[in-house]
A and B are shown apart, each in its own frame.
Chain A
Amino acid sequence: MPQVIDGDSLLKNIKGLPTEAFFVDTNIVIAYKDPFAAALKNPSLEKYNDKVSELLDKLKSEGFKAYSTLSVVLEYYKYIQVNFYKVYKSSATGKETFSLDSEDFKKLKTNDSDFITKWKIYLESFKKPFKKNIIIIDKTLIPKNVLDSFEGTKIDFGDHLLYEIVKTYPKYKCIFTNDLDFYSIDDDDLYIITFNKGIIRKAKTDKKLFNL
């Protein structure tokens, strides 16, 4: 079971991170960028996003590198694509849209100049965190091994791919996430940075809360 680092404690003792660098999960990129301003008028979400941004920026300014993987980039792209479509359609039509219609998306991105102009702005925004703040480091994994080691009940495939990369960097074996699933990984050397109270509670009970 991984060791859990309470994000609030780490904010107070930023130099206490036991690894040289850390990996960033998709939910953290979303909280960091809030690409659709979903937290506006949602004080609790805003507070959470602000803490994530503060921690990420402070760790970086202390010299800890923030890394991520192409699997996270792909998940973040899907988040941007699906939600841009939802927001665009719902703001332009009287019908609330809660899912992506791929065929309609293709049509809009080919024929609708207003859609194309706005989509380009979101595309640039999608690329930005990985160009500026979070470095993508991927290693070539052996597909057969990745598939064989994926048992599919504890974590989803995107998280599995992230963990498979993290494993290859022992000095950076740390994931900044809000996802409880990572806590189920059978790995005592893995660290999880989180603000998720559920994970922190469990770690306390299991005596897996890292003492900063």
Chain B
Amino acid sequence: MHKVVEIVNNPVLLASDKGDKLYRHLKKALGAKPFKEITLDFEGYKFLSSTFLNHAFGQLCIDLKISEKQFFNKIKFVNLDEDDLDEVTLCVLNAQMRIGIIKKGHDEKKFYASIAEY
């Protein structure tokens, strides 16, 4: 069992550096392909931001080229609010789309700058 609050040493899961910390831990824990199965325990967390999720899980999917199915097969979530689990699903889906954008050879920076515009 991998306890998120202990890994990042903080119950507030908002900042990108906390997400990076979890990313590094997960990368090590998953090991090489076909990856180990791990359980992430969110007990005691207070807040959760999309920045944190994108840095921890989104970046992990992109760097290790993990599909959505693989991700949820290998990483199990406990003590995470249902709404926040939906946010994890969205984050993983966003990562899959970004992988697609990169694979198709599109200019990632330019493309996402167009998304950010409002």
Contacts and interface: CB of A to CB of B under 8 A. Distances in A.
B90 A35 contact: yes
Interface of A: 26-27, 30, 33-42, 45-46, 49-50, 53-54, 57, 79, 83, 86-88, 90-94, 96, 98, 118, 121-122, 124-125, 128, 132
- Chain A at the B interface: SS class: helix
Among A26, A41, A91, A98, max chain B CB count under 10 A is at: A91
Interface residues of B, number: 40
Given A96-B106, A124-B86, A40 B97 contact: no
B116 to A, nearest CB: 4
The B contact surface, by secondary structure, is helix
A49 to B, nearest CB: 7
B45 to A, nearest CB: 14
Contacts, number: 97
Interface stretch (B2-10, B26-34, B52-60, B70-78): B52-60
Interface string B99-118: 11101111111011111101
A94 B106 CA distance: 8
Nearest to A53: B49
A83 B111 CA distance: 11
9 contacts: A30-B118, A38-B116, A39-B54, A42-B113, A49-B51, A50-B16, A79-B118, A94-B105, A122-B90
